[in-house]
Structure 1
Protein backbone atom coordinates (compact mmCIF):
# COMPACT_ATOMS: atom_id res chain seq x y z
CA UNK A 1 0.00 0.00 0.00
CA UNK A 2 1.13 3.50 -0.78
CA UNK A 3 1.82 6.04 1.95
CA UNK A 4 2.52 8.95 -0.35
CA UNK A 5 1.40 12.40 0.84
CA UNK A 6 -1.90 13.68 -0.45
CA UNK A 7 -2.22 16.25 -3.20
CA UNK A 8 -5.06 18.53 -4.15
CA UNK A 9 -6.53 15.75 -6.27
CA UNK A 10 -6.92 13.07 -3.57
CA UNK A 11 -10.46 11.83 -3.05
CA UNK A 12 -12.44 11.96 0.22
CA UNK A 13 -12.50 8.16 0.30
CA UNK A 14 -8.71 7.88 0.15
CA UNK A 15 -7.70 11.33 1.44
CA UNK A 16 -4.11 10.55 2.34
CA UNK A 17 -3.39 8.12 -0.45
CA UNK A 18 -4.35 5.01 1.47
CA UNK A 19 -7.60 3.15 2.13
CA UNK A 20 -8.15 1.45 5.49
CA UNK A 21 -11.13 0.68 7.69
CA UNK A 22 -11.36 2.34 11.10
CA UNK A 23 -9.87 0.13 13.79
CA UNK A 24 -12.65 -1.98 15.31
CA UNK A 25 -10.98 -1.92 18.70
CA UNK A 26 -10.93 1.87 18.55
CA UNK A 27 -14.70 1.90 18.01
CA UNK A 28 -15.26 0.03 21.26
CA UNK A 29 -12.79 2.12 23.28
CA UNK A 30 -14.78 5.34 22.91
CA UNK A 31 -16.72 6.61 25.92
CA UNK A 32 -20.46 6.91 25.22
CA UNK A 33 -22.51 6.36 22.08
CA UNK A 34 -20.41 6.42 18.91
CA UNK A 35 -21.47 8.10 15.66
CA UNK A 36 -22.98 5.94 12.94
CA UNK A 37 -20.33 7.14 10.47
CA UNK A 38 -17.06 8.48 11.83
CA UNK A 39 -14.75 10.71 9.81
CA UNK A 40 -12.07 10.80 12.50
CA UNK A 41 -11.23 8.97 15.69
CA UNK A 42 -8.58 9.20 18.38
CA UNK A 43 -7.26 5.97 19.82
CA UNK A 44 -5.45 6.04 23.17
CA UNK A 45 -4.25 9.56 22.39
CA UNK A 46 -1.57 10.81 24.77
CA UNK A 47 0.16 14.16 24.33
CA UNK A 48 3.41 15.28 25.93
CA UNK A 49 5.29 18.57 26.00
CA UNK A 50 8.76 17.43 26.95
CA UNK A 51 8.30 15.52 30.22
CA UNK A 52 4.88 17.06 30.87
CA UNK A 53 2.00 14.67 30.21
CA UNK A 54 -0.61 17.12 28.88
CA UNK A 55 -3.39 14.73 27.76
CA UNK A 56 -4.00 11.16 28.92
CA UNK A 57 -5.55 8.33 26.91
CA UNK A 58 -8.31 10.06 24.94
CA UNK A 59 -10.64 7.95 22.78
CA UNK A 60 -13.17 9.84 20.65
CA UNK A 61 -15.02 9.52 17.38
CA UNK A 62 -16.22 12.44 15.27
CA UNK A 63 -19.30 11.83 13.15
CA UNK A 64 -19.73 12.87 9.55
CA UNK A 65 -21.77 16.08 9.15
CA UNK A 66 -21.96 16.48 12.90
CA UNK A 67 -20.78 19.23 15.22
CA UNK A 68 -18.80 17.90 18.15
CA UNK A 69 -18.09 20.27 21.04
CA UNK A 70 -15.25 19.81 23.50
CA UNK A 71 -15.85 21.53 26.83
CA UNK A 72 -14.15 21.65 30.21
CA UNK A 73 -12.22 23.94 32.57
CA UNK A 74 -9.04 25.73 31.55
CA UNK A 75 -6.02 23.47 31.34
CA UNK A 76 -7.98 20.28 30.69
CA UNK A 77 -6.38 19.57 27.31
CA UNK A 78 -9.28 20.19 24.96
CA UNK A 79 -7.40 22.70 22.77
CA UNK A 80 -4.36 20.43 22.80
CA UNK A 81 -6.50 17.58 21.47
CA UNK A 82 -7.98 19.88 18.83
CA UNK A 83 -4.53 20.94 17.61
CA UNK A 84 -3.49 17.31 17.35
CA UNK A 85 -6.31 16.62 14.90
CA UNK A 86 -4.51 18.40 12.07
CA UNK A 87 -0.98 18.13 13.46
CA UNK A 88 -0.69 21.76 14.52
CA UNK A 89 1.18 20.54 17.60
CA UNK A 90 4.01 19.52 15.28
CA UNK A 91 4.92 23.21 15.29
CA UNK A 92 5.51 23.26 19.08
CA UNK A 93 9.05 22.28 20.17
CA UNK A 94 9.08 19.23 22.43
CA UNK A 95 5.52 18.18 21.61
CA UNK A 96 5.02 14.43 21.24
CA UNK A 97 1.92 12.42 20.37
CA UNK A 98 1.37 8.77 21.25
CA UNK A 99 -1.53 6.58 20.17
CA UNK A 100 -3.30 7.21 16.88
CA UNK A 101 -5.53 9.77 15.22
CA UNK A 102 -7.31 8.17 12.29
CA UNK A 103 -8.83 10.16 9.44
CA UNK A 104 -10.97 7.95 7.20
CA UNK A 105 -9.08 5.04 8.73
CA UNK A 106 -5.56 6.34 8.15
CA UNK A 107 -3.38 7.34 11.08
CA UNK A 108 -2.37 10.93 10.30
CA UNK A 109 0.79 10.44 12.37
CA UNK A 110 1.92 7.44 10.32
CA UNK A 111 5.29 7.52 8.62
CA UNK A 112 5.17 9.21 5.22
CA UNK A 113 2.06 11.30 5.90
CA UNK A 114 2.64 14.96 5.03
CA UNK A 115 1.27 17.33 7.72
CA UNK A 116 0.52 19.93 5.05
CA UNK A 117 -1.61 17.39 3.20
CA UNK A 118 -3.42 16.64 6.47
CA UNK A 119 -4.20 20.35 6.96
CA UNK A 120 -5.58 20.56 3.45
CA UNK A 121 -8.30 18.10 4.44
CA UNK A 122 -8.65 19.24 8.06
CA UNK A 123 -8.82 23.04 8.22
CA UNK A 124 -8.68 25.21 11.31
CA UNK A 125 -10.26 28.45 12.53
CA UNK A 126 -8.50 30.04 15.47
CA UNK A 127 -9.71 31.80 18.59
CA UNK A 128 -8.76 35.29 17.40
CA UNK A 129 -9.58 36.28 13.82
CA UNK A 130 -6.32 36.25 11.87
CA UNK A 131 -6.89 37.59 8.36
CA UNK A 132 -3.79 37.96 6.21
CA UNK A 133 -2.54 41.49 5.44
CA UNK A 134 -4.12 41.23 2.01
CA UNK A 135 -7.35 42.14 0.30
CA UNK A 136 -10.55 40.25 1.10
CA UNK A 137 -10.29 38.56 -2.31
CA UNK A 138 -6.66 37.52 -1.85
CA UNK A 139 -7.37 36.13 1.62
CA UNK A 140 -9.76 33.63 0.05
CA UNK A 141 -7.66 32.91 -3.01
CA UNK A 142 -4.44 32.41 -1.04
CA UNK A 143 -4.97 28.77 -0.01
CA UNK A 144 -6.10 27.45 -3.40
CA UNK A 145 -3.16 29.22 -5.05
CA UNK A 146 -0.59 27.85 -2.59
CA UNK A 147 -1.71 24.23 -2.92
CA UNK A 148 -2.06 24.47 -6.69
CA UNK A 149 -5.76 23.75 -6.56
CA UNK A 150 -7.28 23.45 -10.03
CA UNK A 151 -10.28 25.75 -10.38
CA UNK A 152 -12.22 26.86 -13.45
CA UNK A 153 -12.67 30.36 -12.08
CA UNK A 154 -11.00 31.87 -9.03
CA UNK A 155 -13.66 34.58 -9.00
CA UNK A 156 -16.37 31.93 -8.66
CA UNK A 157 -14.44 30.10 -5.97
CA UNK A 158 -13.97 33.28 -3.93
CA UNK A 159 -17.64 34.19 -4.28
CA UNK A 160 -18.74 30.68 -3.36
CA UNK A 161 -16.58 30.58 -0.22
CA UNK A 162 -17.84 34.00 0.89
CA UNK A 163 -21.43 32.96 0.24
CA UNK A 164 -20.94 29.76 2.20
CA UNK A 165 -19.56 31.86 5.06
CA UNK A 166 -22.60 34.19 4.90
CA UNK A 167 -20.34 37.13 4.11
CA UNK A 168 -20.76 37.76 0.38
CA UNK A 169 -23.54 40.34 0.59
CA UNK A 170 -21.52 42.37 3.10
CA UNK A 171 -18.25 42.47 1.14
CA UNK A 172 -19.06 41.95 -2.55
CA UNK A 173 -18.47 45.63 -3.36
CA UNK A 174 -15.11 45.85 -1.54
CA UNK A 175 -13.25 42.65 -2.44
CA UNK A 176 -10.06 44.58 -3.23
CA UNK A 177 -10.07 46.39 0.13
CA UNK A 178 -7.94 45.23 3.07
CA UNK A 179 -9.41 42.49 5.22
CA UNK A 180 -8.34 44.52 8.25
CA UNK A 181 -11.15 46.98 7.49
CA UNK A 182 -13.76 44.39 8.47
CA UNK A 183 -15.32 44.14 11.91
CA UNK A 184 -14.21 41.38 14.28
CA UNK A 185 -17.19 39.20 13.45
CA UNK A 186 -16.73 39.73 9.73
CA UNK A 187 -13.03 38.90 10.04
CA UNK A 188 -13.87 35.62 11.74
CA UNK A 189 -16.34 34.71 9.01
CA UNK A 190 -13.67 35.67 6.45
CA UNK A 191 -11.30 33.24 8.17
CA UNK A 192 -13.98 30.56 7.94
CA UNK A 193 -14.42 31.36 4.24
CA UNK A 194 -10.65 31.16 3.77
CA UNK A 195 -10.66 27.74 5.43
CA UNK A 196 -13.44 26.29 3.29
CA UNK A 197 -11.97 27.72 0.05
CA UNK A 198 -9.59 24.75 -0.12
CA UNK A 199 -12.53 22.32 0.19
CA UNK A 200 -11.59 20.57 3.45
CA UNK A 201 -13.55 17.66 4.87
CA UNK A 202 -13.27 18.68 8.53
CA UNK A 203 -13.25 22.14 10.13
CA UNK A 204 -11.63 22.60 13.54
CA UNK A 205 -12.66 25.67 15.55
CA UNK A 206 -10.76 26.76 18.66
CA UNK A 207 -13.13 29.00 20.64
CA UNK A 208 -14.16 30.84 17.47
CA UNK A 209 -16.52 33.24 19.25
CA UNK A 210 -14.56 34.10 22.39
CA UNK A 211 -13.41 37.46 20.97
CA UNK A 212 -16.81 38.36 19.47
CA UNK A 213 -19.83 40.27 20.72
CA UNK A 214 -23.19 38.48 21.13
CA UNK A 215 -24.51 39.53 17.69
CA UNK A 216 -21.37 38.36 15.89
CA UNK A 217 -21.39 35.17 17.98
CA UNK A 218 -24.95 34.44 16.90
CA UNK A 219 -23.99 34.86 13.24
CA UNK A 220 -21.06 32.46 13.58
CA UNK A 221 -23.24 29.91 15.38
CA UNK A 222 -25.86 30.13 12.64
CA UNK A 223 -23.08 29.67 10.09
CA UNK A 224 -21.81 26.57 11.89
CA UNK A 225 -25.26 25.04 11.69
CA UNK A 226 -25.35 25.70 7.94
CA UNK A 227 -21.84 24.38 7.33
CA UNK A 228 -22.65 21.12 9.10
CA UNK A 229 -24.55 20.06 5.96
CA UNK A 230 -21.25 19.85 4.06
CA UNK A 231 -18.56 19.52 6.73
CA UNK A 232 -17.69 17.76 9.94
CA UNK A 233 -17.07 20.42 12.60
CA UNK A 234 -15.15 20.02 15.85
CA UNK A 235 -15.25 23.02 18.17
CA UNK A 236 -13.61 23.85 21.48
CA UNK A 237 -15.69 26.23 23.57
CA UNK A 238 -15.78 27.55 27.13
CA UNK A 239 -19.39 28.53 26.53
CA UNK A 240 -21.56 25.62 27.64
CA UNK A 241 -24.67 27.33 26.28
CA UNK A 242 -22.99 27.49 22.89
CA UNK A 243 -22.16 23.78 23.05
CA UNK A 244 -25.78 23.03 23.95
CA UNK A 245 -27.08 25.22 21.11
CA UNK A 246 -24.97 24.06 18.19
CA UNK A 247 -23.45 20.62 18.82
CA UNK A 248 -24.70 17.12 18.17
CA UNK A 249 -22.25 15.52 20.58
CA UNK A 250 -20.21 16.87 23.46
CA UNK A 251 -16.98 15.66 25.03
CA UNK A 252 -16.34 16.82 28.59
CA UNK A 253 -12.72 17.02 29.73
CA UNK A 254 -11.28 17.70 33.16
CA UNK A 255 -7.76 18.02 34.56
CA UNK A 256 -6.11 15.85 37.17
CA UNK A 257 -3.24 17.49 39.09
CA UNK A 258 -0.07 15.51 39.71
CA UNK A 259 0.41 15.13 43.47
CA UNK A 260 4.17 15.63 43.14
CA UNK A 261 4.55 18.40 40.56
CA UNK A 262 1.11 19.99 40.53
CA UNK A 263 1.03 19.72 36.72
CA UNK A 264 -2.47 19.15 35.38
CA UNK A 265 -3.08 16.34 32.91
CA UNK A 266 -6.19 16.49 30.72
CA UNK A 267 -8.65 13.60 30.87
CA UNK A 268 -11.76 12.78 28.87
CA UNK A 269 -14.54 12.21 31.39
CA UNK A 270 -17.63 11.71 29.25
CA UNK A 271 -18.62 11.81 25.58
CA UNK A 272 -22.22 11.50 24.47
CA UNK A 273 -25.07 13.04 22.54
CA UNK A 274 -25.25 16.68 23.65
CA UNK A 275 -28.87 16.54 24.80
CA UNK A 276 -28.17 13.45 26.88
CA UNK A 277 -24.92 14.74 28.36
CA UNK A 278 -26.49 18.03 29.43
CA UNK A 279 -29.74 16.54 30.70
CA UNK A 280 -28.60 13.25 32.20
CA UNK A 281 -24.81 12.97 32.52
CA UNK A 282 -23.44 9.64 33.68
CA UNK A 283 -20.43 11.00 35.57
CA UNK A 284 -20.78 13.21 38.63
CA UNK A 285 -17.84 15.32 37.48
CA UNK A 286 -19.78 16.19 34.34
CA UNK A 287 -22.87 17.05 36.33
CA UNK A 288 -20.86 19.25 38.71
CA UNK A 289 -19.28 21.14 35.82
CA UNK A 290 -22.42 21.81 33.78
CA UNK A 291 -24.32 22.81 36.94
CA UNK A 292 -21.61 25.32 37.84
CA UNK A 293 -20.38 23.58 40.99
CA UNK A 294 -16.82 23.67 39.69
CA UNK A 295 -14.85 24.95 36.71
Structure 2
Protein backbone atom coordinates (compact mmCIF):
# COMPACT_ATOMS: atom_id res chain seq x y z
CA UNK A 1 0.00 0.00 0.00
CA UNK A 2 1.46 3.36 -1.05
CA UNK A 3 0.63 6.56 0.75
CA UNK A 4 1.35 9.80 -1.04
CA UNK A 5 1.93 13.16 0.50
CA UNK A 6 -1.26 14.63 1.97
CA UNK A 7 -1.74 18.32 1.32
CA UNK A 8 -4.89 18.75 3.37
CA UNK A 9 -6.67 16.60 5.89
CA UNK A 10 -10.11 15.40 4.94
CA UNK A 11 -12.96 13.42 6.46
CA UNK A 12 -13.91 9.99 5.26
CA UNK A 13 -17.50 9.95 3.99
CA UNK A 14 -18.54 7.38 6.56
CA UNK A 15 -16.99 9.30 9.44
CA UNK A 16 -14.67 6.42 10.28
CA UNK A 17 -11.53 8.54 10.00
CA UNK A 18 -12.94 11.20 12.33
CA UNK A 19 -13.75 8.51 14.90
CA UNK A 20 -10.13 7.34 14.70
CA UNK A 21 -8.94 10.90 15.23
CA UNK A 22 -11.19 11.32 18.26
CA UNK A 23 -9.75 8.14 19.73
CA UNK A 24 -6.24 9.47 19.22
CA UNK A 25 -7.21 12.55 21.20
CA UNK A 26 -8.50 10.34 24.01
CA UNK A 27 -5.41 8.10 23.93
CA UNK A 28 -7.61 5.07 23.33
CA UNK A 29 -6.75 2.43 20.77
CA UNK A 30 -9.79 1.58 18.65
CA UNK A 31 -10.83 -1.94 17.85
CA UNK A 32 -9.36 -2.85 14.49
CA UNK A 33 -9.47 -6.10 12.55
CA UNK A 34 -5.72 -6.69 12.41
CA UNK A 35 -4.05 -7.30 15.75
CA UNK A 36 -1.49 -4.66 16.72
CA UNK A 37 1.32 -5.06 19.26
CA UNK A 38 1.13 -3.17 22.50
CA UNK A 39 3.20 -0.17 21.44
CA UNK A 40 2.69 3.57 21.44
CA UNK A 41 3.93 3.71 17.84
CA UNK A 42 4.32 0.67 15.60
CA UNK A 43 5.50 0.33 12.01
CA UNK A 44 4.77 -2.57 9.69
CA UNK A 45 6.38 -2.81 6.28
CA UNK A 46 7.37 0.86 6.49
CA UNK A 47 9.24 2.17 3.49
CA UNK A 48 9.94 5.57 1.99
CA UNK A 49 10.65 6.42 -1.62
CA UNK A 50 11.48 9.64 -3.40
CA UNK A 51 10.20 9.36 -6.94
CA UNK A 52 11.52 6.05 -8.28
CA UNK A 53 14.22 5.81 -5.60
CA UNK A 54 13.49 3.58 -2.61
CA UNK A 55 15.34 5.19 0.31
CA UNK A 56 14.43 2.69 3.01
CA UNK A 57 12.16 -0.31 3.11
CA UNK A 58 10.39 -2.99 5.14
CA UNK A 59 10.88 -1.55 8.62
CA UNK A 60 8.98 -3.22 11.48
CA UNK A 61 9.39 -1.51 14.86
CA UNK A 62 7.50 -1.21 18.16
CA UNK A 63 8.08 1.78 20.41
CA UNK A 64 6.94 1.17 23.98
CA UNK A 65 5.57 3.66 26.47
CA UNK A 66 8.10 5.72 28.46
CA UNK A 67 11.10 4.08 26.87
CA UNK A 68 14.05 5.55 25.01
CA UNK A 69 14.73 3.85 21.69
CA UNK A 70 17.90 4.68 19.76
CA UNK A 71 18.16 4.38 15.98
CA UNK A 72 21.80 3.81 15.01
CA UNK A 73 23.72 3.04 11.84
CA UNK A 74 26.05 4.59 9.25
CA UNK A 75 25.18 7.73 7.31
CA UNK A 76 22.63 7.26 4.57
CA UNK A 77 20.93 4.19 6.03
CA UNK A 78 17.50 5.77 6.56
CA UNK A 79 17.46 6.47 10.30
CA UNK A 80 16.29 10.08 10.02
CA UNK A 81 13.95 9.19 7.15
CA UNK A 82 12.20 6.65 9.38
CA UNK A 83 12.11 9.10 12.27
CA UNK A 84 10.37 11.72 10.11
CA UNK A 85 7.68 9.18 9.24
CA UNK A 86 6.66 8.93 12.88
CA UNK A 87 4.98 12.35 12.92
CA UNK A 88 4.52 12.77 9.16
CA UNK A 89 7.33 15.26 8.65
CA UNK A 90 7.95 13.56 5.30
CA UNK A 91 4.66 15.11 4.16
CA UNK A 92 6.68 18.31 3.74
CA UNK A 93 9.14 16.76 1.26
CA UNK A 94 7.94 16.97 -2.38
CA UNK A 95 7.80 13.58 -4.05
CA UNK A 96 8.09 11.57 -0.84
CA UNK A 97 5.90 8.47 -0.61
CA UNK A 98 5.40 6.43 2.54
CA UNK A 99 4.58 2.74 2.16
CA UNK A 100 3.24 0.31 4.72
CA UNK A 101 1.58 1.21 8.00
CA UNK A 102 2.56 3.54 10.83
CA UNK A 103 0.22 3.34 13.82
CA UNK A 104 -0.22 5.49 16.90
CA UNK A 105 -2.12 3.55 19.57
CA UNK A 106 -3.38 1.30 16.78
CA UNK A 107 -4.61 4.21 14.64
CA UNK A 108 -3.15 4.54 11.15
CA UNK A 109 -1.58 8.00 11.36
CA UNK A 110 -1.63 8.29 7.56
CA UNK A 111 -5.42 7.95 7.48
CA UNK A 112 -6.77 10.84 5.42
CA UNK A 113 -8.93 12.05 8.32
CA UNK A 114 -6.10 12.36 10.86
CA UNK A 115 -5.46 15.96 11.83
CA UNK A 116 -1.72 16.34 11.21
CA UNK A 117 -1.43 19.37 13.51
CA UNK A 118 -2.98 17.40 16.36
CA UNK A 119 -0.74 14.43 15.55
CA UNK A 120 2.39 16.58 15.73
CA UNK A 121 1.19 18.11 18.97
CA UNK A 122 1.16 14.63 20.46
CA UNK A 123 4.38 13.52 18.73
CA UNK A 124 6.83 16.42 19.04
CA UNK A 125 10.23 16.73 17.39
CA UNK A 126 13.64 18.16 18.27
CA UNK A 127 16.05 18.64 15.38
CA UNK A 128 19.78 18.15 14.95
CA UNK A 129 20.66 21.84 15.08
CA UNK A 130 19.03 24.04 17.74
CA UNK A 131 16.45 26.12 15.90
CA UNK A 132 14.92 28.66 18.28
CA UNK A 133 12.57 31.13 16.63
CA UNK A 134 13.73 34.78 16.42
CA UNK A 135 11.51 35.58 19.38
CA UNK A 136 11.82 35.88 23.12
CA UNK A 137 12.46 32.82 25.26
CA UNK A 138 8.89 33.08 26.54
CA UNK A 139 7.36 33.32 23.06
CA UNK A 140 9.40 30.35 21.83
CA UNK A 141 7.86 28.12 24.47
CA UNK A 142 4.37 29.61 24.13
CA UNK A 143 4.40 29.26 20.34
CA UNK A 144 3.23 25.64 20.20
CA UNK A 145 0.29 26.01 22.59
CA UNK A 146 -0.82 29.13 20.73
CA UNK A 147 -0.72 27.74 17.19
CA UNK A 148 -2.36 24.44 18.17
CA UNK A 149 -5.25 26.26 19.80
CA UNK A 150 -4.57 25.25 23.39
CA UNK A 151 -6.35 27.49 25.85
CA UNK A 152 -4.57 27.05 29.19
CA UNK A 153 -5.78 28.89 32.26
CA UNK A 154 -2.33 30.48 32.50
CA UNK A 155 0.23 30.60 29.69
CA UNK A 156 2.80 31.69 32.28
CA UNK A 157 2.32 28.37 34.04
CA UNK A 158 2.65 26.46 30.76
CA UNK A 159 5.91 28.21 29.95
CA UNK A 160 7.36 27.69 33.42
CA UNK A 161 6.36 24.03 33.51
CA UNK A 162 7.94 23.38 30.10
CA UNK A 163 11.16 25.20 31.00
CA UNK A 164 11.37 23.31 34.28
CA UNK A 165 10.77 20.07 32.39
CA UNK A 166 13.69 20.95 30.12
CA UNK A 167 15.92 21.80 33.11
CA UNK A 168 16.24 25.38 31.89
CA UNK A 169 13.99 27.41 34.17
CA UNK A 170 16.59 28.39 36.77
CA UNK A 171 18.92 29.63 34.03
CA UNK A 172 16.40 31.82 32.18
CA UNK A 173 13.62 32.74 34.61
CA UNK A 174 14.92 36.31 34.94
CA UNK A 175 15.29 36.91 31.20
CA UNK A 176 12.20 35.40 29.61
CA UNK A 177 11.65 38.47 27.43
CA UNK A 178 15.16 38.35 25.99
CA UNK A 179 15.77 37.00 22.49
CA UNK A 180 16.43 33.25 22.47
CA UNK A 181 19.37 33.79 20.11
CA UNK A 182 21.38 35.00 23.11
CA UNK A 183 21.38 31.56 24.71
CA UNK A 184 24.28 29.15 24.37
CA UNK A 185 24.00 26.21 21.99
CA UNK A 186 23.15 23.77 24.76
CA UNK A 187 20.60 26.14 26.24
CA UNK A 188 19.03 26.66 22.83
CA UNK A 189 18.63 22.91 22.40
CA UNK A 190 17.01 22.60 25.82
CA UNK A 191 14.75 25.51 24.84
CA UNK A 192 13.72 23.54 21.76
CA UNK A 193 12.94 20.59 24.02
CA UNK A 194 10.87 22.90 26.23
CA UNK A 195 9.05 24.12 23.13
CA UNK A 196 8.30 20.51 22.19
CA UNK A 197 6.94 19.50 25.59
CA UNK A 198 4.89 22.69 26.03
CA UNK A 199 2.13 21.13 23.92
CA UNK A 200 1.97 18.16 26.30
CA UNK A 201 2.98 15.44 23.81
CA UNK A 202 3.25 11.76 24.55
CA UNK A 203 6.21 11.10 22.24
CA UNK A 204 9.36 13.15 21.56
CA UNK A 205 11.39 12.47 18.43
CA UNK A 206 15.03 13.62 18.54
CA UNK A 207 17.16 13.74 15.40
CA UNK A 208 20.79 13.78 16.58
CA UNK A 209 20.04 16.43 19.21
CA UNK A 210 23.60 16.53 20.55
CA UNK A 211 25.65 16.46 17.35
CA UNK A 212 26.22 20.24 17.38
CA UNK A 213 26.93 20.45 21.12
CA UNK A 214 30.07 20.27 23.22
CA UNK A 215 30.58 17.37 25.69
CA UNK A 216 29.28 19.34 28.71
CA UNK A 217 26.08 20.37 26.91
CA UNK A 218 25.72 16.82 25.57
CA UNK A 219 25.90 15.40 29.10
CA UNK A 220 23.15 17.80 30.21
CA UNK A 221 20.90 16.73 27.33
CA UNK A 222 21.51 13.06 28.11
CA UNK A 223 20.66 13.60 31.78
CA UNK A 224 17.55 15.45 30.66
CA UNK A 225 16.50 12.59 28.38
CA UNK A 226 16.73 10.21 31.30
CA UNK A 227 14.41 12.46 33.31
CA UNK A 228 12.01 13.00 30.41
CA UNK A 229 11.67 9.25 29.87
CA UNK A 230 9.78 9.07 33.16
CA UNK A 231 6.97 10.91 31.37
CA UNK A 232 7.51 10.61 27.62
CA UNK A 233 8.31 8.02 25.00
CA UNK A 234 11.57 9.14 23.34
CA UNK A 235 12.94 8.02 19.98
CA UNK A 236 16.42 9.30 19.16
CA UNK A 237 18.60 9.09 16.06
CA UNK A 238 22.27 9.17 16.98
CA UNK A 239 25.62 8.45 15.35
CA UNK A 240 27.16 8.24 18.81
CA UNK A 241 27.03 4.58 19.83
CA UNK A 242 28.23 5.39 23.34
CA UNK A 243 25.29 7.75 23.67
CA UNK A 244 22.88 5.07 22.50
CA UNK A 245 24.33 2.65 25.03
CA UNK A 246 24.07 5.22 27.83
CA UNK A 247 20.55 6.53 27.34
CA UNK A 248 18.39 3.95 25.58
CA UNK A 249 16.52 0.83 26.61
CA UNK A 250 16.09 -0.45 23.05
CA UNK A 251 18.20 0.00 19.93
CA UNK A 252 17.46 -0.46 16.25
CA UNK A 253 20.45 -0.91 13.93
CA UNK A 254 20.12 0.16 10.30
CA UNK A 255 22.49 -0.24 7.40
CA UNK A 256 22.38 0.38 3.65
CA UNK A 257 22.73 -2.15 0.86
CA UNK A 258 23.62 -1.29 -2.72
CA UNK A 259 21.18 -2.53 -5.37
CA UNK A 260 21.95 -3.53 -8.98
CA UNK A 261 21.72 0.11 -10.10
CA UNK A 262 24.14 1.35 -7.46
CA UNK A 263 21.47 2.89 -5.21
CA UNK A 264 21.92 2.67 -1.46
CA UNK A 265 18.74 1.36 0.16
CA UNK A 266 18.38 1.65 3.90
CA UNK A 267 17.18 -1.38 5.83
CA UNK A 268 16.57 -2.40 9.41
CA UNK A 269 19.04 -5.12 10.38
CA UNK A 270 18.22 -5.77 14.02
CA UNK A 271 15.99 -4.43 16.80
CA UNK A 272 16.41 -5.55 20.38
CA UNK A 273 17.19 -4.40 23.88
CA UNK A 274 20.20 -2.10 23.98
CA UNK A 275 22.04 -4.54 26.22
CA UNK A 276 21.56 -7.35 23.71
CA UNK A 277 22.50 -5.20 20.71
CA UNK A 278 25.75 -4.06 22.31
CA UNK A 279 26.75 -7.29 24.04
CA UNK A 280 25.43 -10.17 21.95
CA UNK A 281 23.81 -9.06 18.67
CA UNK A 282 22.12 -11.62 16.47
CA UNK A 283 23.41 -10.30 13.14
CA UNK A 284 27.16 -10.18 12.33
CA UNK A 285 26.65 -6.83 10.57
CA UNK A 286 25.53 -5.31 13.86
CA UNK A 287 28.63 -6.59 15.63
CA UNK A 288 30.85 -5.33 12.81
CA UNK A 289 29.38 -1.84 13.08
CA UNK A 290 29.52 -1.64 16.87
CA UNK A 291 33.10 -2.86 16.97
CA UNK A 292 34.13 -0.32 14.33
CA UNK A 293 34.90 -2.72 11.49
CA UNK A 294 32.67 -0.69 9.18
CA UNK A 295 30.59 2.49 9.23
Q: TM-score, normalised by structure 2?
A: 0.91
Deviation per residue, 1:9-52 (Å, 9 max, x gap):
922226xxxx246943x64xxxxxxxxx4101000001100000
Shift of 1:286: 0.1
Map of 2:259 onto structure 1: 258
Map of 1:32 onto structure 2: none
**Number of residue pairs the alignment of both structures matches:** 279
Map of 1:137 onto structure 2: 138
Task: Specify the SS of the correspondent of 2:211.
Answer: coil
Map of 1:11 onto structure 2: 26
Written as runs of structure 1 = structure 2, the 5 A alignment for 1:1-295 is: 2-4=16-18, 6=21, 10-13=25-28, 19-20=30-31, 23-24=34-35, 27=37, 37-260=38-261, 262-295=262-295
In 2: Cα distance, 1:280 partner to 1:22 partner: 36
In 2: Cα distance, 1:114 partner to 1:164 partner: 27
State the Cα RMSD in Å: 1.5
In 2: Cα distance, 1:13 partner to 1:155 partner: 30
Change (3 A) 1:199 1:110: same
Task: Specify the SS of the correspondent of 1:38.
Answer: coil
Change (3 A) 1:131 1:22: farther
Deviation per residue, 1:220-273 (Å, 9 max, x gap):
00000000011000000000000000000000000011122x111000000000
Task: Specify the SS of the correspondent of 2:191.
Answer: helix
Structure 1: any 5+ residue segments left out of the alignment? 28-36
Change (3 A) 1:284 1:123: same
Shift of 1:128: 0.2
Contact 1:71 1:251 (8 Å CA) reproduced: yes
Contact 2:255 2:267 (8 Å CA) reproduced: yes
Shift of 1:148: 1.2
In 2: Cα distance, 1:220 partner to 1:22 partner: 41
In 2: Cα distance, 1:204 partner to 1:218 partner: 18
In 2: Cα distance, 1:163 partner to 1:267 partner: 38
Task: Specify the SS of the correspondent of 2:25.
Answer: coil
Task: Specify the SS of the correspondent of 2:40.
Answer: strand
Contact 1:22 1:104 (8 Å CA) reproduced: no
Task: Specify the SS of the correspondent of 2:66.
Answer: coil
Contact 2:117 2:148 (8 Å CA) reproduced: no
Deviation per residue, 1:203-234 (Å, 9 max, x gap):
00000000000000000000000000110000
Task: Specify the SS of the correspondent of 1:3.
Answer: helix
Deviation per residue, 1:261-288 (Å, 9 max, x gap):
x111000000000011100000000000
In 1: Cα distance, 2:91 partner to 2:242 partner: 32
Task: Specify the SS of the correspondent of 1:81.
Answer: helix
In 1: Cα distance, 2:227 partner to 2:67 partner: 11
Runs of 4+ in 1 over 6 A off after TM superposition: none
